[in-house]
Structure 1
């Protein structure tokens, strides 16, 4: 490789690779130490946001006690920085059925933590066991890659000869087994390989998640026929299964689910725990292979199942047809977000129609008022000279108001007698106040038809108090009760002429 090209590639990795950015970060000791203690060492795949925040606060408390100026930001701010896409040390997501944000470390954290652990001085290095492991792997490669059956049979015959020699040495007492150093060396190699396998599973899970995102990206930006999209998706699925990653994962998962493999593993782990040279350390590999490995494998399998579920949703014909418009809007929004993911987002924004949300509360709406049907009847106008009812209409009004006309006639008679034979309507009302209001006043006008005189050009005011205590007044023509008027109208200084009187019945009409 060209020196310049190699230098540029390494420089690009330093700028873009999350593990490299973590190693050169100012707070790398905090990030690696905390995430290793909370996630990697106990093999915890994910944690809810509130629980992780509380754990980080507990982790920061002794650090701040030793140095008050150390790590001044809040725990939530640190988690937000670590989950930022520019760093990529934590993955922030919402599990299905939960509205609480969860966090999980990325494979970059595993890589950086493994590198930091390798920097420490190791007093014991299993060189012999590593060499034997390499030799066994090379034997498997050469025997498995050979297409000639004779080559493969020759490799098996050499293995059989070695096994026969070991059997003979054991029978003769020349082979007494592995010493304690060789046992501990091989056990350390097994533990290291198991830990590396856990880290590899986290990266495998991330690789499958990247494939899932790629399928979703293409589905989001897809605007062609549905058949071509399905063809593309099925082609991608076949590529995933046929890839080295897919084949290796399928073989690993078959071993995990094989009953015979699990029974043999259980027997081996039980025998390892009884080895005297591994007293107190035999449980470590058991926990790694029997517990933590299953948790990691299950999390990876869930990611693969998520990809399948995503494909099934797009295969739903009804969802495809009914939600076409919704998909178009979502695809447009996500396409813009994906376009701005790796670019400069400083100029990205939107205009808001208003800064205040308008709310219409249900109780602010008026209640329903049923409409009453009203019929409009139009009749021809009556001739003004024709009486449209006369005394009968006035009598009907008095009947409705329950006015006793006989009592009104007695009141008029007593007032006329008290005033020497003549009395006006105002004098009658003052002597006998109105108790029924306007209806009683109309009754007096009706009584005046019996012999009273009405002078339309002269007015007088009649007052009374209604049942609510309010004072009422009516401006009516002058009405004179009596047998025969002594003077047409009570004398006033400004009257120039005497008008011709009319009967009360004529005035009421």
Structure 2
């Protein structure tokens, strides 16, 4: 951190510009209210304008007319300065979301708040465990790793014996608070990181698009570039980490365990007394919503590149058509006014190929087959009645099946549903289940694939591979 670096950083980094802004308190308090207090990830334009109008009215009533602009003008200022991002979704609706730079500023401000105490013991234990895990997975030989596991096994056996003898003491209130504070801090940092993760994916996609634009490849090589981009995003350090996290988060067992752990957390009187607002009660939903958004953004970025490929090919086809029309136009002009010389048009890069008469093959006599007897074949009668008896899949019945599971648990996978309610109407029934998942933002269609056994009306059993589907209970407003 040199003097020059810090001086330039202050002038160009958006987070520091926000902290130095004259309207710092107004901007940060409003953004925190919308995206933290109200827990929005993206906000439609009409909603955020309504929030800002009410916010401005409250401030102007309290402190005088200190903010004279309209809500729309201030929103334009926020997006122009890089504090908020404004974009259009697939339906053409204008949406707003926080930029990574604003997230950095919010996190910095939250870290300035004075803590009741610092959990140095828990933080050191985390560091020590990470060091041990790193050494175990990278530096130790097989014999050393086995020895380490044997020592852990002995320690676990000792704890079991202490519990049986009633000697194993549980955490006191200080240790409970220390662990809880660490969980809250890491959860908050993880939620702030999502904006940066999305930004990193967009940068990878942007670099790939620039490479494609600067290169003049044929369609096949362009298509290969698209696949390389997708592979690059997934195989990058950021991609590996995020998609591994996403796979764990959408695992039905892990998800159910996370819900149970959070519920049990607030059954502890020490934690309830320490955190009456229950800061982690919506943690699972916040993680799912933020991660789902990044997953959709990644898919959308790849689709944008594919559309760019289609546009590129269309432009090439257009050039060919224009060239053909140009040739036709010249042909019409030549027909109306025949040239006086034999050579009337020159084409660059083309030469005539001359075939001599000796290169032609001699005449070959064709032999025709003569049939003595006519083919006698009875016309096959096809029963088309089954074609008109197409079965009907009742989506309302499928909804009732899903709802019956979600009454007792926060989420359920399609695999669990088909165990209790086997698929008897073939692929059409599976397509209906997938359609229901796509219609609701509360449900998840993962990129992970699973295999299900299904039946059809003929009684045949088949195995079908399809994306993993998780139905989630609708979150209370």
Q: TM-score, normalised by structure 1?
A: 0.58
CA 263–299 in structure 1, closer or farther in 2 if over 3 Å, else same: same
- Pairing of 1:104-115 with structure 2 (within 5 A): 104-115=97-108
Candidates 27, 30, 51, aligned match of 1:31: 27
- Pairing of 1:35-50 with structure 2 (within 5 A): 35-50=31-46
CA 296–72 in structure 1, closer or farther in 2 if over 3 Å, else same: same
Unaligned runs of 5+ in 2: 320-477
Contact 2:222–2:309 (8 Å) recurs in 1: no
Contact 1:14–1:20 (8 Å) recurs in 2: yes
In the alignment, structure 1 residue 266 sits paired with structure 2 residue 259: yes
Q: TM-score, normalised by structure 2?
A: 0.62
Residue 20 of structure 1 deviates from its aligned partner by: 1.4
Candidates 85, 95, 108, aligned match of 1:91: 85
Secondary structure of the residue that 2:196 maps to in structure 1? helix
Q: Distance in 2 between matches of 1:208 and 1:313?
A: 18
Candidates 259, 268, 272, aligned match of 1:279: 272
RMSD: 2.4
Contact 2:49–2:71 (8 Å) recurs in 1: yes
The residue number in structure 1 matching 2:185 is 192
- Pairing of 1:14-413 with structure 2 (within 5 A): 14-84=10-80, 87-98=81-92, 100-146=93-139, 148-279=141-272, 281=275, 284=278, 286-316=280-310, 320-324=312-316
Q: Distance in 1 between matches of 2:108 and 2:98?
A: 16
CA 324–81 in structure 1, closer or farther in 2 if over 3 Å, else same: farther
Secondary structure of the residue that 1:278 maps to in structure 2? helix
Contact 1:82–1:88 (8 Å) recurs in 2: yes
Q: Distance in 2 between matches of 1:189 and 1:326?
A: 60
Residue 287 of structure 1 deviates from its aligned partner by: 3.0
Secondary structure of the residue that 2:281 maps to in structure 1? helix
Secondary structure of the residue that 2:96 maps to in structure 1? strand
The residue number in structure 2 matching 1:354 is none
Contact 1:195–1:288 (8 Å) recurs in 2: no
Contact 1:190–1:285 (8 Å) recurs in 2: no
The residue number in structure 1 matching 2:451 is none
Q: Distance in 2 between matches of 1:41 and 1:291?
A: 15
Count of aligned residue pairs for this structure pair: 318
- Comparing 60-69 with 18-27, greater Cα deviation is found at 60-69
Q: Distance in 2 between matches of 1:232 and 1:64?
A: 54
Contact 1:191–1:284 (8 Å) recurs in 2: no
Q: Distance in 2 between matches of 1:325 and 1:153?
A: 64
Q: Distance in 1 between matches of 2:142 and 2:97?
A: 48
